[in-house]
């Protein structure tokens, strides 16, 4: 299988600057070489064109930089769709989580998919519920058909992109009040850190995988590095204490790989400005390798 690396250097969806350098940091952590060591053919497609914030205006404080985010999402959707249609595996490097409005849509074009969202946040706000106006906190709601119509549609396509019943959010621990109502109304699965602590990652992932993998053509994994505890992944824009350990995140990726249904993956919210010796980008690479089949021991000497 060929892996297509697609960089999306965007920081328009977030408050803190710096995640636009995430794709470079992940590449610098030897992503391509390590994927090739696993036996994959790897093609780096470069970066999708994204304007810098200084070229964009905030026309609506509840939907910051929407006029620049929409064309970005269209370009990302097209790049990912092209990759999947060619039978390849798109690996999208971010960049803030607003890029998933495009990446998940591209993977879902012409097929029914489930989504596993590994994240400290549910990203299920709308313009009516957002406390910040940051669109990276709305991505999953938009994919489920909730929110600003121009962002939900991008083009005149059928809605929603993802059936909310085929969404599983793993590791959540920072949800806004209005967002909780949206999640409940939509019927998306939310497996919080409390549930992971109580039942363990294996049980939580088994439930999530069973939910999103039934009667679908594939699973898409969107991994926000702030899912991890900040002591493991300091280089993120919106860190939240008491997150996943490295092993819990690896186990999640390993279990998803074992389904054989993974068709694409995001690695988002890596912020080198806030990182320590590229630690978070190095972790991002390791998680990608786990999701794509690497194991410590496979039973052979």
| Residues listed for the chain | 301
Q: Is 147 left (phi over 0), alpha (psi -120 to 50) or beta?
A: left
Is 218 a domain residue?
A: yes
Q: What is the mean pLDDT of the chain?
A: 96
Tokens found for residue 299: 């039973």
User: Of 96, 119, 229, 275, which residue is the catalytic one?
Assistant: 119
Helix %, strand %, coil % for the chain, to 5? 45, 15, 40
pLDDT for 158 equals 67
pLDDT for 157 equals 74
Confidence at 299, pLDDT banded by 50, 70, 90: low
User: Of 123, 174, 179, 254, which residue is the catalytic one?
Assistant: 123
Has residue 298 got a pLDDT over 70? Answer: no
CA distances from 231 to 29, 97, 155, 227, 275 (A): 19, 21, 41, 11, 11
Is 199 a domain residue?
A: yes
Q: Residues 59-67: contacts with CB within 8 Å, 24+ apart?
A: 60/127, 60/133, 61/133, 62/127, 62/128, 62/130, 62/133, 63/127, 63/133, 63/135, 63/148, 63/151, 64/12, 64/13, 64/133, 64/134, 64/135, 65/12, 65/13, 65/135, 66/135, 66/148, 66/150, 66/151
Confidence at 41, pLDDT banded by 50, 70, 90: very high
pLDDT for 295 equals 87
Give the range of the structural domain holding residue 21, as residue numbers without chain letter. Answer: 2-291
User: Of 4, 97, 148, 254, which residue is the catalytic one?
Assistant: 97
Average pLDDT over residues 41-56: 96
232 carries an active-site annotation: no
Has residue 231 got a pLDDT over 70? Answer: yes
269 carries an active-site annotation: yes
Confidence at 156, pLDDT banded by 50, 70, 90: confident
CA distances from 150 to 8, 60, 135, 181, 216 (A): 20, 13, 13, 22, 26
Confidence at 125, pLDDT banded by 50, 70, 90: very high
User: Of 163, 254, 269, 275, which residue is the catalytic one?
Assistant: 269
Is 182 a domain residue?
A: yes
Q: Is 298 left (phi over 0), alpha (psi -120 to 50) or beta?
A: alpha
224 carries an active-site annotation: yes
Average pLDDT over residues 96-123: 97
Q: What is the CATH number of the domain that holds 85?
A: 3.40.800.10
**Strand, helix or coil at 288?**
helix
226 carries an active-site annotation: yes
44 carries an active-site annotation: no
Cβ count within 10 A of residue 139:
34
Reported as a single tens digit per residue, the pLDDT across 71-90 is: 999 999 999 999 999 999 99
Reported as a single tens digit per residue, the pLDDT across 205-218 is: 999 999 999 999 99
**Strand, helix or coil at 116?**
strand
Reported as a single tens digit per residue, the pLDDT across 159-193 is: 789 999 999 999 999 999 999 999 999 999 999 99
Average pLDDT over residues 56-67: 97
Is 257 a domain residue?
A: yes
Is 214 a domain residue?
A: yes
Is 300 a domain residue?
A: no
Structural domain count, the chain: 1
CA dist., res. 3 & res. 279, Å (int): 23
275 carries an active-site annotation: no
Residues of the chain with pLDDT > 90, as a percent, come to 94
pLDDT for 300 equals 56
Distance of CA 107 to the CA centre of its chain: 12
Reported as a single tens digit per residue, the pLDDT across 26-38 is: 999 999 999 999 9
pLDDT for 77 equals 97
**Strand, helix or coil at 7?**
strand
Is 172 a domain residue?
A: yes
């Amino acid at each position: 299988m060929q892996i297509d690396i697609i960089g999306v250097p965007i920081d328009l969806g977030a408050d803190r600057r710096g995640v636009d350098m995430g794709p470079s940091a992940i590449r610098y952590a030897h992503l391509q070489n390590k994927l090739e060591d696993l036996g994959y053919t790897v093609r780096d497609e470069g970066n999708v064109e994204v304007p810098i914030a200084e070229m964009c205006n905030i026309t609506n404080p509840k939907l910051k930089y929407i006029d620049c985010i929409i064309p970005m999402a269209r370009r990302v959707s097209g790049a990912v769709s092209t990759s999947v249609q060619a039978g390849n595996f798109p690996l999208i490097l971010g960049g803030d989580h607003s890029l998933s409005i495009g990446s998940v849509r591209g993977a879902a074009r012409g097929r029914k998919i489930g989504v596993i969202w590994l994240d400290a946040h549910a990203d299920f706000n709308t313009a009516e519920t957002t406390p910040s106006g940051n669109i990276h906190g709305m991505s999953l709601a938009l994919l489920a058909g909730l929110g600003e119509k121009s962002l939900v549609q991008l083009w005149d396509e059928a809605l929603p992109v993802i059936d909310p019943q085929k969404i599983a959010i793993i590791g959540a621990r920072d949800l806004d009040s209005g967002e909780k109502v949206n999640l409940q109304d939509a019927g998306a699965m939310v497996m919080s850190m409390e549930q992971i602590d109580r039942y363990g990652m294996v049980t939580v992932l088994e439930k999530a995988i069973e939910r999103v993998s039934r009667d679908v053509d594939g699973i898409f994994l969107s991994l926000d590095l702030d899912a991890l505890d900040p002591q493991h992944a300091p280089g993120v824009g919106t860190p939240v204490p008491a997150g996943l350990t490295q092993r819990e995140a690896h186990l999640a990726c390993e279990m998803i790989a074992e389904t054989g249904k993974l068709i694409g993956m995001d690695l988002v919210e890596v912020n080198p400005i806030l990182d320590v010796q590229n630690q978070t980008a190095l972790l991002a690479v390791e998680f990608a390798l786990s999701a794509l089949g690497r194991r410590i021991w496979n039973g052979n000497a």
